[in-house]
Structure 1
Amino acid sequence: MALERQLSGSGLRVVKATSGEEALRQLDDQDFALILMDVRMPGLDGFETARLIRQHEPLRRVPLIFLSGASREEASVVNGYANGAVDYLRKPVEPEALRAKVRVFVDLYLEREALRRERAQERRLLEERRLAVEKDRERLLEELREAVRLRDEFLSVASHELKTPLTPLALRLRLLLQELEAEPDSPGTRRLLRHLETARQQVRRLTVLVDGLLDTTHITSGRIALCHEEDVNLAAIVRNVAASFETQAERAGCPMGLEVPGHVLGRWDPLRLEQVVSNLLSNALKFGAGSPVHLRVEEREGWGRLVVRDQGIGMDDGVRARLFRRFERGVSERHYGGLGLGLFISQQIVQAMGGRILVESTPGQGATFTVELPCSALPESPPPGRGPS
């Protein structure tokens, strides 16, 4: 009652407990800024009650001041501090001293609570910002997916639309060539034949570019089409493709050497396989201009193998690392042209048929591309002489 009177008028709420057990129950139910505890109480004494309080993590931070009416003995003081007391007062307590001590700990409690609320607010704001960032990221990803979808849809439509006039144009050029070849002796005819051949080459080039865009959209959407046939002859495909590139090789100053057996048979898509061979040979003639280009076909332990080697500009490790990505080029398009899709498409086709493409190159010493394909079902082991890709 004396303590309650001394603390009245200070704006504090005082909660009274008449025993250690009741004090523990009160502490479990609500938060306190300070505990004033008599050493002597019925049941649990103050020291034992303090020890139990300090065993609970949420309560051990509450400051505790012991009160005693007995003489202030050294042993009691040491025992009080050992049980977690921050101070030890002897009754009767001076009212001003009591109020001053209580106010200090109450102010510390209020500051600590204000800091806790501030930190909690900061955590909430941080969490809200994280959530906002996550939502923005999801929104941007969705917009990016939609942009990619629209891009692929545009490329697909544009490719189809561009192929529509190319097909009849190529047909007309072929008919015109046949008519001119019927009268080959005229000087004017020979001049027109040269112009016509140039026009046909440009149409073929444009067709290849359009087909590359169309294949890229199909690959991106997972719709690459393969038509597997039995007993497809890789050797015959390589010979036919090489024959179709003879004029281009002559213009590039690239003598072509072929090391091709009669038959290397497998279950492959012949048109797609022809596309891969054409892409690799076209690159070899483009980047190895003025130097020989060599093609070799072989079969080893159930694997068909095509090797295309040039002696051109070659490439370093950095270029090789990104060579098979979409729209990537080993050199400037200003000097060599192209969309950077040929090797990407070739790799996707070869992988879809269960194979792989490898490249070896040194700057200034040319490049060697190797295509390895299973001749039937995919063997359990990798191609002989090489580890897994």
Structure 2
Amino acid sequence: MARRARSYSGASHVPMSSGEDRGRECPETAWACRLPGAPVRDIRMNDWENDVADEISVLVVDDKPQNLLAMKALLADSGLRVLTAESGPAALELLLVHDVMLALLDVQMPGMDGFALAELMRGAERTRHVPIIFLTAGSQESQRSFKGYEAGAVDFIYKPVDAHVLRSKVAVFADLHRQRLLLAERIVEQERLARVNALMLGALSHDIRSPLSVMMLNAELLIRQTESPSLQKAGQRVKAAAMLLGRQVDHLGSLARRPCELLQVQPVRGDLASLAAQRLDVESNQAVMWVPPAFERLGDTTGDFDPELMAQAIDRLIIQGATHAGDCAIQIQVDGSAHRSLTLRISFDRVLEPEAAIHLFGGTEPVSGMSSAQVGPGLEEPERVARAHGGSLIGASRARQGTMFELLLPRLQSER
């Protein structure tokens, strides 16, 4: 639970004492209107353990001052800050400037009773999730309890209050609150580390692409200028290796570029090549192809994946490939030669027009040279499927290389 700042833009200072300015007109209305605009302050790892004790507060609301004094005395040794209010409006004013981890509300109060106060708290974003325990001197009637739970209560304490019961319940909620704060700290830190990792991967990818580009250019020169067959083969091997490394770097950049809302995956062991071959035979996919496709299977293509989601991704890739390839044949390759991954690759020799490249690969201009391959709106759905499996999807359209979509999956979901 993130802690909020102590000031609100456009709002006058609200006294911390519950006894001041109680005659202010409609404080509950002002409270409800001003809460949604309250800013949120990030919690930092280095100050949480030092100031968390000062920040944990419990609110006690009772119309009898002697009861408030008794509650403060009972909770004096709890290490918590006890805020008290003698009415619902006074409690709402306190909630404007204090974050509380628990509210103890007297049910029977003149004017705004505990149930009405609880409903107002549940109606505001800031206090919607504050646990509420009702204090009541009435009988333990099921109807009254039912109304209290409908108003948002998590428990009832009946008067006269048992000191041991009160302290035990408050301690439980205090521990839960500390755990929520610690969890929020860790989430913030993990998000920060994820951003740092993404920046580092982006920088490393850029640094790796520069020497890869040099390798590819020199390999191409070697292939074209030498008359030795052995040197030509060596140049072709160097070029192929550089292209493979470039695609792997593109996959790393794809995974680091941005988070993606993951789908629910139900993986089973299956053969990716067999699934791709089945989707090629589907009538709707056959209808968009101008010429028969070329299909190739390499190595062991079995792995763990969700067959329904993967079929949808393959259909989308086939349709996009066939649509933009026109009268060029598309090549579909399922590569299982790697030990830990499977690769589905769809390619054709045509270079995309700028508008089509932007639609499929994103950005404001088509991807060219050794720049990072991206995925645009036309490939968002298969990319989501790849991400849900712990993999990635990249694509590129380049002169002398044509257009390629490549979906990379981990072979085993247990190794994600």
Q: TM-score, normalised by structure 1?
A: 0.38
Q: Which structure has the larger Rg over C-alpha atoms? A: 1
Q: TM-score, normalised by structure 2?
A: 0.36
